[in-house]
Chain A
């Protein structure tokens, strides 16, 4: 497909690239703001990716360079992986001086689907293992997040970590009384897996593949779940929680920019894994929030994402400074939220109330 056809809206404007004199054929979410030629667009998005980390001096001042990339097969994860691979090639100017490890994650419990995804992961793994790149990787099911100390060794014949925990994981999800609670549990498991895997491998920093659009939808769903106070940290570029630094380098990049860059650089063919992420369940807050943001952008409110992220960045937790942290998600929790099992923040306490097997919940997550 010719580049001019990738973004017809931008091409139709007939304007010049804002950085050079070439025709502007690509743009971000709002073509009326700025259009770019192909090379400038690629440079712009890559610059956004790298400056998100550079501005916060995450790898400066003697900080550890080891980084774990949580790869879930999404376009954002493909872009992040593509950037990592680029940084490893000796021919390129190595701007990202990091030592990456990739954690390929599985969400599905359907053996057939898991088989297809593992096959794709094997292809990706082969690319990562090529000489000149040599990025170590592991595959894990998010159920492995149930392990307090993740066992990195995998039994022979098993392709991924966490297969033994899938039964408990399924049982826990079935015990949740609403699709929203299940969705939220899945998200928490993903975070726990990343944090515990990083702790087991001695890695301090985790890249999460969340774009600006994903984070804006998270803002709305977090507010709808009562997490308002913690939202600012949960969507920020850099956040310290559960003993690790969660980084979101694509904080300022939209889905459209990710999709275009992946197409232009070939990351979609090389790394994207279709059908990898579970679709948002119907009748859940997450889907309603996602549809809401998409609808606003379709209606012409293209600044919705940037406004949400900007306003969330200005807010903090207004309650008394917390001395302790939630046992599950690691967010600050005040004393008054203490329950009999463990100290939980308000949203996690609500989650526990929706579980019909509280003993299992406590054993799995609160102990």
Chain B
């Protein structure tokens, strides 16, 4: 009877160990897949950034050709002190799995009129995270922001901020210059996404390496 009990318990222990091994292997594979996914996104985003920047530079050259070299040149950039139209916020996750910072771009946030128009660029890879500690409403959200008024007002404000930043080249600028501005704006958003994806990639790479070292040990 005691032997049967001992056999039963050893079988249970073996089964438990097998289950833990399977679980460990599953987690390992999950981390590897997550790493490869983030690597793929990283490479794709780098390619996207490169083509967006190329397009932006060509549009700027095209605007220069259209408006003239005296209207589009570095000597017109404004050296007066002014608040940044766009800022980067760094927040930290509470997640135990991904203990890493998260970058959020706040575009066209003007401190003068308090209409801080903030744009949230969600990192689509971070589906397991609880999200950053600070929540920012996207300017393109369907819900009407409680403190910001209708989306139309927000879009008008963004348009005004864009026009204001281009005003150093004059108030009547070519559509090509506006297109160049949009391209560089997109490139900036892509850069922030790249930063977030890179953090995920490095974090999952560390985990995979630790697991491999643990297995070899």
Q: Do A and B bind each other?
A: no
A residues with a Cβ closer than 8 A to B are none
B residues with a Cβ closer than 8 A to A are none
